[in-house]
Amino acid sequence: MFSNYFKLAVKVLGRRPSFTAISLFGISFTLMILILLAAFLDAELGEEQPLGNRDELVFVDRITMKLEVPDTTWQVDSTLVNGQMTYDSTEIITTSNRSFSSAMLSYSFADRHLRDVAGAKDYSIYSPTFNYDLFINGNKLTFDAVYSDERFWDIYNFEFLQGRPFRKQEVEGQAQVVVLTQKATKQYFGTDEDVLGKFMEIDNKRFELIGIVKELSNSKGFLSGQAYLPITTANPVVLNNDSFQGPFEVVFLAGSARGKEDIRQDLDRKARQIVMPNPEQYNVLELQSSDFLSRYAFSVFPRRDGPDSSQRMLFIVFGGLLLLFVLLPTLNLINLNVSRIMERSTEIGVRKAFGAHSNNILLQLVFENIVLTFLGGAIGLLLALGALYLVNDSNILPNTTLRFNVSVFLYSLLICLVFGIISGLLPAWRMSRIQIVNAIKQNQL
């Protein structure tokens, strides 16, 4: 049956080439853009290295200190009642923020207060904020340096091309060892062969190269370092700073998705319990925690209410835009399909007259439309591959390589199917319910 439908569909498409071309143009471009979008999202939010544990991570990257004081307002309403002035006074007590300070964490704070958080299987303290200008033969290289402990490598599963991460003894012994990304290795040493064990100078210290990791394919600020160094080799002033704020963040690994909630609750509880050193300066402390998605959302739409609010915002904005974007080509296709299907009223009338059920007609017409969408999808896929190549080649998105992989392909298939069904359903439904007499009678339109 479907092979018959297929033959018929191909015939019908050939009958009015200009209409088919218009439909295909719309379908293929829509799908091309959707495929590009899927590839982009996959690169940004997918489980690429080093984010294999993406769904189990909780970040604490901001500590906010506030001075909240009760703010009393006297409000007096005067009204004239029977020639007499009456006064109605209200006292409104609110809290007002006198001062506010928000920054990343200091090492001593993280070390003292965030070591045993309920629900966390593992944690790591690191600082992604340092960068150093290095000069090689008069060329400047700006390296973002990440100072981390050894647990960093367990939580983030970097793919090592050569060598190894640094270990606990090395962190404790302040060993001057460094892990570089592949590109950074090539930039600094000119090659990435036989470079393990060579030395490089960062921050006036000589570091031995012990590992090379694969380039990161994401644009997330907290993981975009080129050089990874043991936390103990960082500037001692920074490490020993005993105020609450500094350049560090903490990542926790939860055993499960539920564990994430436990961790975040425990962090809130801890934040309330911490005694402020001088309450006349700041008397309230908040720890801003986020999971991977809300942290990403926060970097795109920073909101004062925190990452969860950003995530809602991201979903609303993104979902709204996507909906509008898909809606328009769909409506357009429905419009075209309605016109085009009317032409075939005679054929359908005859089929119905010979006993075809409405559902059969519906299935046939939707199937034809799916054939059309998949044809458009194939063209769209080719266009998307070309566009991916162009985007990567032109380096429009620095630090991001869009890839076409299995999940993107599956997404595209799904998108095609949904698009085909939606745009074919309404015209087909209308046609399948057409009265036989009207359908067979010519010029009744």
Partner 1 sequence: MNRHILRLLWNKKRSNFLMFLEIFFAFVILFAVFTIVTRFVRMYSTPIGFDTEQIWAAHFNFDNLPYASDTTAVLDMKERLKAEVAALPEVESVSAIGFVSPLANGRWQTVNDDNGFEMMTTLHWVDKDFRETMNLQMVQGRWFEEGDDQGRYQPVIISKKLYDMHFKDRNIKDSIYTIQGENRIIGIVENYKYSGDFTEELPATFLYQPPGSMDISNLVLRIAPGTPPAFEERLNQTIADVTKTSDFTIEHLKTTRAVKARQVWLPMAALLAICLFLVINVAMGLFGVLWYNISKRRGEIGLRRTLGATRGEITRQFILEIMLVSLAGIGVAAAFAVQLPLLNVMDVEAINYYIAMLMAAGLILALVFICALYPSRQAAQIHPAVALHEE
Residue nearer to partner 1 on the CB measure, 81 or 237 = 237
289 vs 335: CA distance, rounded Å? 48
Quick one: 140 or 273, whose CB is closer to partner 1? 140
Q: Which of 73, 86, 335, 435 binds partner 1 (CB under 8 A)?
A: 335
**One of 236, 277, 319, 386 touching partner 1 (CB under 8 A):** 236
**Torsion sign across C-alpha atoms 436, 438, 442, 443:** negative
Using CB under 8 A as the binding rule, the residues of this chain from 426 to 445 that contact partner 1 are 443, 445
Taking Cα atoms as reference points, which of 150, 111, 143, 146 lies closest to residue 129? 146
CB of 417 to partner 1, least distance (A): 20
Residue whose C-alpha is closest to residue 255's, from 122, 352, 440: 122
- Binding part of the chain for partner 1, among 49-57, 268-276, 306-314, 331-339 by CB under 8 A, reads 331-339
Please select the residue that binds partner 1; options are 8, 10, 22, 293, rule is CB under 8 A: 22
User: What track of x and - describes contact with partner 1 for positions 175 through 204 (by CB under 8 A)?
Assistant: ---------------------------xxx
Could you count the other beta carbons within 10 Å of the beta carbon of residue 332? 16
Identity of the residue, 67 or 336, whose beta carbon is nearer to partner 1 in the bound complex = 336
Site for partner 1 contains 238 (CB under 8 A):
yes
Helices (H), 301-357: 307-342, 345-353
Q: Which is nearer to partner 1, 138 or 197 (CB)?
A: 138
For residues 206 and 186, what is the distance between their CA atoms, to the nearest angstrom?
18
Is 318 a binder of partner 1 (CB under 8 A)?
Answer: no
Work out how close the CB of 324 gets to partner 1 at its nearest, in angstroms, rounded to a whole number.
5
Q: Taking the complex as a whole, how short is the minimal distance between the CB of residue 412 and partner 1, in angstroms? A: 17
Q: Is the distance from CB of 303 to CB of 312 less than 8 angstroms?
A: no
H or E element in which residue 20 lies: helix 17-45
Binding to partner 1 (CB under 8 A): which residues in 134-163?
Answer: 135, 138-140, 142
Helix orientation angle between 345-353 and 406-432, rounded to the nearest 10 degrees: 70
Binders of partner 1 in range 336-355 (CB under 8 A): 336, 338-340, 342
Task: State in angstroms the smallest separation of the CB of 439 from partner 1.
Answer: 15
Torsion sign (Cα): 96, 102, 108, 110:
positive
Nearer to partner 1, 36 or 117 (CB): 36
Q: Does residue number 29 form part of the binding site for partner 1 (CB under 8 A)?
A: yes
Contact 226, 211 (CB under 8 A): no
User: Closest distance between partner 1 and the C-beta of residue 404, in Å?
Assistant: 19
Binding flag, residue 304, partner 1 (CB under 8 A)? no
Residue 193: count other Cβ atoms within 10 Å of its Cβ: 9
Q: How many residues bind partner 1, per CB under 8 A?
A: 44
Strand partners, 74: 91
Whether the ω angle into residue 17 lies within 30 degrees of 0, i.e. cis, is: no
> Which lies closer to partner 1 via its Cβ, residue 257 or residue 390?
390
Q: Which residue of 77, 116, 133, 305 would you call a contact of partner 1, by CB under 8 A?
A: 133
Question: Which amino acid belongs to residue 352?
Answer: K
Please select the residue that binds partner 1; options are 118, 328, 382, 414, rule is CB under 8 A.
328
The only residue of 332, 358, 392, 401 in contact with partner 1, by rule CB under 8 A:
332
- Structure-block tokens of residue 199: 């030395």
Tokens of 2: 């479907």
**Residue 286's CB: how many other CB atoms inside 10 A?**
16
CA 149 to chain centre: 26
Three-class DSSP category at 242: coil
Contacts of residue 215, defined as CB under 8 A and 6 or more positions apart, other chains included, come to 181, 182, 183
Query: Is residue 365 within the footprint of partner 1 (CB under 8 A)?
Result: no
- Residue numbers of the site for partner 1 (CB under 8 A)? 18-19, 22, 25-26, 29-30, 33, 130-133, 135, 138-140, 142, 202-204, 235-238, 241, 321, 324-325, 327-329, 331-336, 338-340, 342, 396, 443, 445
